[in-house]
Structure 1
Amino acid sequence: MIHSTLRRPKTLSVIGALLLVTGLAAGCGAGDDAADKAAGNLTALGKTLPQKIQDAGVLQVAILPDFPPQSFKDEKTNELAGFNVELVKAMGEELGIKIEFQDVKFDAMIPGLQASRYDLAAVGFNVVESRETAVDLVSMTAVRQSFLVSASFPDRVLDGFESACGMKVALLASNTYMDSLKEASDKCAKDGKGTIDIQTYPNDSALFAAVESGRADGTINNTATNAYLAKHSGGKLKKAEGHFRCTLAGFGVKKGQPELLKALQAAINAAIKDQKYTAAVSKWDYQELAVTEAKVSPLAGTYSLDDCSFN
Structure 2
Amino acid sequence: MSLDKIKIFSGNANPELSGEIISQLNVIQGKAFVGQFSDGESQVEILENVRGCDVFIIQPTCGPSPAETLMELLVIADALKRSSAARITAVVPYFGYSRQDRRSRLTRVPITAKLAAKMVESAGIDRILTVDLHADQIQGFFDIHIDNIYAQPVMLADILSKGYNDVVVVSPDVGGVVRARAAAKRINDADLAIIDKRRPAPNMVKVMNVIGDVEGRTCILIDDMVDTAGTLCQAASILKEKGAKKVVAYATHAVLSGNAIDNINNSELDELVTTNSIPLSEDAVNCTKIRQLSIAPTLAEVIKRISEEKSISSIFTDS
TM-score normalised by the shorter chain: which range applies? 0.3 to 0.5
> TM-score, length-normalised on structure 1?
0.37
Structure number with higher relative contact order (C-alpha < 8 Å, ≥ 6 residues apart) = 1
Higher strand residue share: 2
Which one has the largest radius of gyration?
2
